[in-house]
Amino acid sequence: MLFMYCFQKQDRRREDGNPVRNPGIDDSQAGRFMQQDRHSVLIIGAGIAGLTAAIALSRQGHRVRVFERYPEVRPLGAGLILWSNAITALRHIGLESDVQQIGQPLSTLAITRTDGRVLGRTDAAKLSSTAGAQTIAVHRADLISALLSHLPEECLQTGKAFTSCTRQGAGVVAHFKDGSSETGDVLIGADGLHSRVRESLHGFEAPRYSGYTAWRGISPRPDVTLANPDASTETWGRGTRFGWVPLTSDRVYWFAVKNAPEGEPVAQDSDRAELEELFGTWHDPIPQTIAATPDSAILRHDIYDRDPRSSWGHGPITLSGDAAHPMTPNTGQGAAQAIEDAVVLASCLTNHQTIDAALRSYEKTRIPRTSMITTLSRRIGSVAQVENPFLCWVRDSLSRATPESVTLRQFEGLVNWSPPTEPDASPLNTPDEAD
C-alpha cells in the first residue's frame, strides 16, 4: 500500500528486527527524579490538545487553568480515527473506557479505486493486537464532551482570547484581550494551527498550504448493503479522494479531498453540488452518503501544515498539539499526537528537578516523533493526490502489489507507542489534598 512506500525511510528497527518503540522519556532516567512540587499551569486553548493536557496534568496533582477564546467550548467538527497509540495514551490517564463508549472499533482499513476494486487492505484487529489497544473512530464533538466531563472543577475559563505573555520572575504572565491577566509557573500553548502563543515565541510564520482542500461531514448510515459495515475505506481518484468511516451503528464520518488553489471558492451553487459533481459516479456508498448528509453538517477547510521546528518554546513556555506540530490528516495522527503530548508533558513536569528541564525534556522527546509523522503525512498526501493518469496507475499498481504483512509492519512503527514509566505509580494528591 501507499503507506509502505512513504514510510520506508522513517521506520527505525533494532538489530533484532523489531520496531523501535517510543516510550516517551527514557525509562532508565525516570527513577532518578523525585516527585517535585506541583506547578500552576496555564493552558491556552480548549481543544483536544489543551483539554487532554489539563486532565493529564491535574491527575499528577498540578494546578491547571484552561483559557478558551470563544464564549463557550464548541464541540464542533466531524469525525476522527484514534489509532492504537492514542488509545494507549488515553488508557494511561484513565480515559480509555470513555472513548470505547462513544466510538466504533474499526475492523478493516481498505484502499479502493473509484469503481470499488480493492487496492489494499489492512486488518485493524491484527494491528490492535500487536499494539495492545484498539483503533477507534469517534465524533470529535463526542470526544470533546468526554474530555470536558473529566476537567477539574472550575478550571476552564471561556471568552479569554490570549494576546501575549511576559516573564515574571521564574514564572509567566498570560495577557488577554479583555485586559485581564493570569500568572502561573508554566504556560502551554495549545491554541491550534494559528497559535498566538507560538507567534509570541517565534514571530509570525505563515502555515504551508498543502495544495488541496477537504470537506468533512457526519451522515446517517445510508441504506446500502456492505460486505463489511465496520470497515473504513479510502477511495483514490485523480487528484481526488473520498474516505468513509463508521462511527456508530447509525452514523458515519466521511471526508473528501481535491487538489485546488488556496482559498478557491465553491465551484457550484453549494458544497453538496460540488461534491456530487466530483464523486457522484463513484462506488457505493459514496453517492448515498453525500446525499444523506445535511447541508449544515458539511464542513470545508483548506489543508495546512508547518515545517517541523527544532524547538517549541523556552523558559516556562512550550507548545502542544497543532500549535506545536500541525500536520496534514493523511496519517490520521493529529489528535493522537496531541494526546501523546499531554501524557509526556505531564510526566516530564512531574519528574524533573526544574520547569525548564522538564519542558526541554518534553520537547526533546516529542519533536523527533512528531516531525517524522508530519513529514510522512506530507509524503502520503503528495502521492495520494497525484493527477497524472500514468502516475495514478503506478500508485495503484504498487498498492495492489504490496502484501498486507508489509503494510502491517509499517503501521506498527507508527502506532506501537508506550507512555513514560512513572517512578511512583501510586495515586498522587491533588493540590487541595496536599499537606
The whole-number pLDDT of residue 23 equals 37
Confidence check: pLDDT of 5 > 50: no
- Please write down the HEC assignment for all residues of 189-228: ECCCCCCHHHHHHHCCCCCEEEEEEEEEEEEECCCCCCCC
- Averaged pLDDT of the chain: 88
Q: Which helix (H) or strand (E) holds 300?
A: strand 299-305
Q: pLDDT exceeding 70 applies to what percent of the chain? A: 88
Task: Say if CB 321 and CB 192 are below 8 A apart.
Answer: yes
The whole-number pLDDT of residue 408 equals 86
The whole-number pLDDT of residue 390 equals 98
Average pLDDT (313-330) is 98
The whole-number pLDDT of residue 434 equals 36
Distance from C-alpha of 368 to C-alpha of 282, rounded to nearest angstrom: 39
Domain boundaries, the chain: 2-12+20-208+305-415
The whole-number pLDDT of residue 313 equals 98
Q: Which residues contact 222 (CB under 8 A, 6 or more apart)?
A: 252, 284, 285, 288, 289, 291, 292
Quick one: cell of 229? 459495515
Q: Which helix (H) or strand (E) holds 348?
A: helix 334-351
Torsion of CA 7, 8, 10, 16, to 10 degrees: 130
The whole-number pLDDT of residue 281 equals 98
Q: Which residues contact 166 (CB under 8 A, 6 or more apart)?
A: 172, 173, 175
SS3 78: coil
pLDDT band at residue 31, thresholds of 50, 70 and 90?
very low
Average pLDDT (16-40) is 45
Quick one: cell of 342? 499531554
- Which residue do the cell numbers 501510586 mark? 426
- Please give the CATH superfamily to which domain 2-12+20-208+305-415 belongs: FAD/NAD(P)-binding domain (3.50.50.60)
Distance from C-alpha of 26 to C-alpha of 181, rounded to nearest angstrom: 37
The whole-number pLDDT of residue 92 equals 97
The whole-number pLDDT of residue 225 equals 67
378-410 confidence digits (pLDDT tens): 999 999 999 999 999 999 999 999 998 888 888
- Which residue do the cell numbers 470497515 mark? 231
Average pLDDT (70-75) is 89
Confidence check: pLDDT of 32 > 50: no
Distance from C-alpha of 89 to C-alpha of 310, rounded to nearest angstrom: 24
The whole-number pLDDT of residue 69 equals 97
40-69 confidence digits (pLDDT tens): 999 999 999 999 999 999 999 999 999 999
Global pTM reads 0.88
> What DSSP letter does each residue of 240-299 carry, written as one string?
EEEEEEE-SSSEEEEEEEEE--TTPPPSSSSHHHHHHHHHTTSSTTHHHHHHHS-GGG-E
The whole-number pLDDT of residue 164 equals 97
Whether the bond into 285 is cis, omega within 30 of 0: yes
